[in-house]
Amino acid sequence: MGVRVGNASGFYGDRFTALREMLDGGPLDALTGDYLAELTLLILGRDRLKDPSGGYARTYLRQLEDTLGLARDRGVRLVANAGGLNPAGLAGAVRELGERTGVPVRVGYVEGDDVLARGWGEGVLTANAYLGGGGITACLRAGADVVVTGRVTDAALVSGCAAWYHGWSGDDFDALAGAVVAGHVLECGTQATGGNYAFWQEVPRPERPGFPLAEIAADGTCVITKHPGTGGAVTAGTVTAQLLYETAGARYAGPDVTARLDTVRLTDEGRDRVRVTGVRGEAPPGTLKVGLTRLGGHRNEVVFVLTGLDVEAKAELVRAQMEAALAPRRPGHVRWSLARTDRADAGVQEEASALLRLVVRDRDPDVAGRAVSGAAVELALASYPGFHVSAPPGKGAPYGVFEAAYVPASEVPHTAVLPGGARVRVAPPPATRELADVPGPPLPEPLPPGPARRAPLGAVAGARSGDKGGSANVGVWARSEDGWRWLAHKLTVERFRALLPETRRHAVTRHVLPNLRALNFTVDGLLGEGVASQARFDPQAKAVGEWLRSRHLDVPEVLL
C-alpha cells in the first residue's frame, strides 16, 4: 500500500473540522494542510505589518487544540504550510500548545523562502520563493511529529512526506514526479472528491464531500481515495478535473522535479479508488519561482440596479452622470459592465432587474473612495426611474497585486530547522534541466461526419478553470473516446475565442493531453494583476470553465 497521505485543507478558510474528520476517519501516516495562496500571502503580509509576531495562519493552531493529542496517539505526522511568513513563530506556538495541553510534540519547521531582503522595488510587501519538499523530508527523518513551512509548492507537502517514508533521493525523478502529481490532486482538498465538479449531480452526497488521501507506493504510483463513509466520490473524472486545475502544458515544473502530465494514466479500481501510473519525471529547472505581492492602490465598487423597461438607456444615463462627476479627478482605472440578469414580464422584481457594475482603482484613496461614493449617492433622486444600488457605496479598500519573478535555486537558503534546533541546509536538486515546450502529440482520428444538433458543450465535456497570477487556465476533458475524437478537432483556439469573447484580446495557448482526453487552455492576462486586484467579475476565473460549458455549438448526435 505504501504511505497513506491525507489532506485536510485546500485554502485558508477551508472546513474547520476537516483535521479531526481525517484523523477519525481511518488510518493515515501523514496529514497535510494547504493554507497558502497568492491572496493569502498578501493578507498575512498586512497582518505582519500590524503585528510582527504574526504572519501565520492562526486557524491551524486552533484546529490543533483538540487534535494534536489524537494525531500523536495514532502516529500521524502533521505537515502544513500554515507557517506563512513566520514558520518559526507558528512552530513555537505549536510547542507551547503541546506543553499547555500535556501533549509534548517534536516540531520542525522549514524556512528560507522569504527573500524580501533581496530588494524587489517600491511597494513590495512579500517576496517568497516556492521551495520543494526537501526541508519537510529532513524534518520528518529527524523525528518531527509536526512540520510547519512557509511558501513551499502545494504539491511539496505530499511529495516531501512520500520521500521521507520511502527514503527517496533527489534524483529519483520518476518517483518524485508521481508523488508531485498525487500532491497536486490532493492540494485543493475536496475538489478531488466531487467538490466544484462539472458533473456534480452524479456525485453521492455532494453537499459534504470527504477530503482525499493518496496511497503512494515506493515507485511513485498511487491510488487516490478517501475515507469510507464520507460524502462525494473519487472517480477518473474528479481526478482528471483536479489534474487540469491551474496547470498548463505537458511539463509541470516544480523545485524538486518536472512532472510530465502527458504521461499520467488513470485507471478506475472500484468505488472511490483511482490508480495513477506512468508518471515520468525530469530534472527541474535551475530557478525558483518567487511570488511578489504589493499594495497596488485602492479599489471601489458600486452596483446600480436597473429594473424593468429601457435597461440599456438607463445604463447610458447613469454612466454619463457618473463619468461627468468623476471627470475632474478621474481614477486611473474605470470599468463598467452590464449584466442582463433581467427578463421580460417578470413576476418577481429581482428577476426584472439588471446589474450595472462600476469598478474604479487608483493609488489615491480619496479618488477611488469618497469621490466615487459621493457621486453615486448624489444621484439618488436625480437619475433613472427606480434608482437604487445593491449596497450603500463605501469608502473603498486597498487592493493587492501579485507578480512572479525567478531566482537561481542555489541562491535561496532552503533550511530545515529540526526538532532539536539544529539547522540543516537543504541541497538543491542534483541536476537541472531548462524548460522547453513538448512537441504537440498527434491528434486522434476525427469522428466520422454525421448528424449534429445545437447543444451546450457541457452536455459532452467537463471543464475546470482557475488562476495563475494574471492568467487563467481552462481545462476541458471528454468523457469517452468518441467524445475525445470530436473535442480534439472541434475545440480549437479560434473556436475557444469565439465561444468566450472576453478572451479575444488575450493570448490563448492550447495544450493537448491525450492520456487524459483533455485540452488545457491558458489565457494570458485575463485576470489583470491577479486575484487580489479583483479586475473581473470572477477574479479567480473559477467559473470560466462553466461559462464555456454553457455555450452552444453543433454536437454530433452520436455523442448526445
Model confidence at 161: pLDDT above 80: yes
- Measured CA to CA, the distance from residue 400 to residue 265 in angstroms comes to 39
What mean pLDDT comes out for the span 109-117?
97
| Beta strands 107-111; 124-129: pairing state | unpaired
Q: What is the pLDDT of residue 1?
A: 76
- Containing structural domain, residue 229: 3-291+404-425
57 falls in which pLDDT band (50, 70, 90)?
Answer: very high
Are 238 and 339 contained in the same domain? no
Helix axes 156-166, 173-186, angle to 10 degrees: 140
Are 416 and 484 contained in the same domain? no
Report how far Cα 354 is from the mean position of its chain's Cα atoms.
30
Residue matched to cell numbers 455523442 = 559
Q: Which residues contact 525 (CB under 8 A, 6 or more apart)?
A: 470, 471, 506, 507
Model confidence at 535: pLDDT above 70: no
Model confidence at 435: pLDDT above 80: yes
In tens, the pLDDT along 334-358 reads: 999 999 999 999 999 999 999 999 9
In tens, the pLDDT along 516-531 reads: 999 999 999 998 876 6
What mean pLDDT comes out for the span 163-179?
98
In a domain, 138, yes or no: yes
| Beta strands 77-80; 124-129: pairing state | unpaired
Q: What is the pLDDT of residue 49?
A: 86
- Measured CA to CA, the distance from residue 41 to residue 47 in angstroms comes to 10
What mean pLDDT comes out for the span 165-180?
98
What mean pLDDT comes out for the span 238-260?
97
Q: What is the pLDDT of residue 532?
A: 62
Model confidence at 105: pLDDT above 80: yes
Residue matched to cell numbers 471627470 = 327
In a domain, 258, yes or no: yes
Mean pLDDT of the chain: 95
Helix, strand, or coil here: 495? helix
Are 264 and 218 contained in the same domain? yes
481 falls in which pLDDT band (50, 70, 90)?
Answer: very high
| Beta strands 274-277; 452-456: pairing state | unpaired
- Measured CA to CA, the distance from residue 359 to residue 337 in angstroms comes to 9
In a domain, 373, yes or no: yes
Q: What is the pLDDT of residue 533?
A: 65
- Measured CA to CA, the distance from residue 374 to residue 83 in angstroms comes to 41
In a domain, 435, yes or no: no
Residue 465 contacts residue 197 (beta carbons within 8 Å): no
Are 361 and 417 contained in the same domain? no
Which is nearest to 131 in space by CA: 282, 314, 237, 287? 287
Q: What is the pLDDT of residue 460?
A: 97
Q: Which residues contact 389 (CB under 8 A, 6 or more apart)?
A: 302, 303, 304, 305, 376
Where would I find the H helices in 369-464?
Answer: 370-378
Model confidence at 536: pLDDT above 90: no
Are 38 and 105 contained in the same domain? yes
Among residues of the chain, what percentage have pLDDT more than 70? 99
Residue 451 contacts residue 443 (beta carbons within 8 Å): no
Are 172 and 321 contained in the same domain? no
Beta strands in 395-490 (DSSP E): 397-408, 415-417, 423-425, 452-456, 461-468, 471-478
What mean pLDDT comes out for the span 229-236?
98
Q: Specify the higher pLDDT residue, 106 or 46.
A: 106
Model confidence at 326: pLDDT above 80: yes
C-alpha cell at 352: 426584472
Q: What is the pLDDT of residue 375?
A: 96
Q: Which residues contact 75 (CB under 8 A, 6 or more apart)?
A: 29
In a domain, 439, yes or no: no
123 falls in which pLDDT band (50, 70, 90)?
Answer: confident
Are 69 and 140 contained in the same domain? yes
Are 461 and 382 contained in the same domain? no
- Measured CA to CA, the distance from residue 349 to residue 236 in angstroms comes to 43
Model confidence at 441: pLDDT above 70: yes
Are 136 and 64 contained in the same domain? yes
In a domain, 433, yes or no: no
In tens, the pLDDT along 5-28 reads: 999 999 999 999 999 999 999 999
Model confidence at 43: pLDDT above 80: yes
Least confident of 85-94, 175-184, 287-296: 287-296
- Measured CA to CA, the distance from residue 323 to residue 328 in angstroms comes to 10
Are 263 and 378 contained in the same domain? no
Answer positive or negative: Cα dihedral of 251, 254, 258, 264: negative
User: How many domains, in total, are found in the chain?
Assistant: 3
Here the CATH number for the domain that contains residue 368 is 3.30.70
Are 169 and 119 contained in the same domain? yes
The values of phi and psi at residue 17, to 5°, are -85, 0
Task: Tell me the chain's radius of gyration from C-alpha atoms.
Answer: 25
Model confidence at 36: pLDDT above 70: yes
Q: What is the pLDDT of residue 16?
A: 97
Are 12 and 135 contained in the same domain? yes
Q: How far is CA 217 from CA 139, 147, 310, 378, 486, in A?
A: 21, 22, 64, 66, 36
Where would I find the H helices in 226-346?
Answer: 236-244, 311-326
The values of phi and psi at residue 70, to 5°, are -60, -45
In a domain, 136, yes or no: yes
Which is nearest to 38 in space by CA: 246, 241, 283? 246
In a domain, 441, yes or no: no
Model confidence at 37: pLDDT above 70: yes
Q: Specify the higher pLDDT residue, 47 or 487.
A: 487
Q: In what order do the strands lie in the sheet with 3-7?
A: 265-268, 274-277, 222-226, 212-216, 3-7, 30-33, 77-80, 146-149, 107-111, 415-417, 423-425
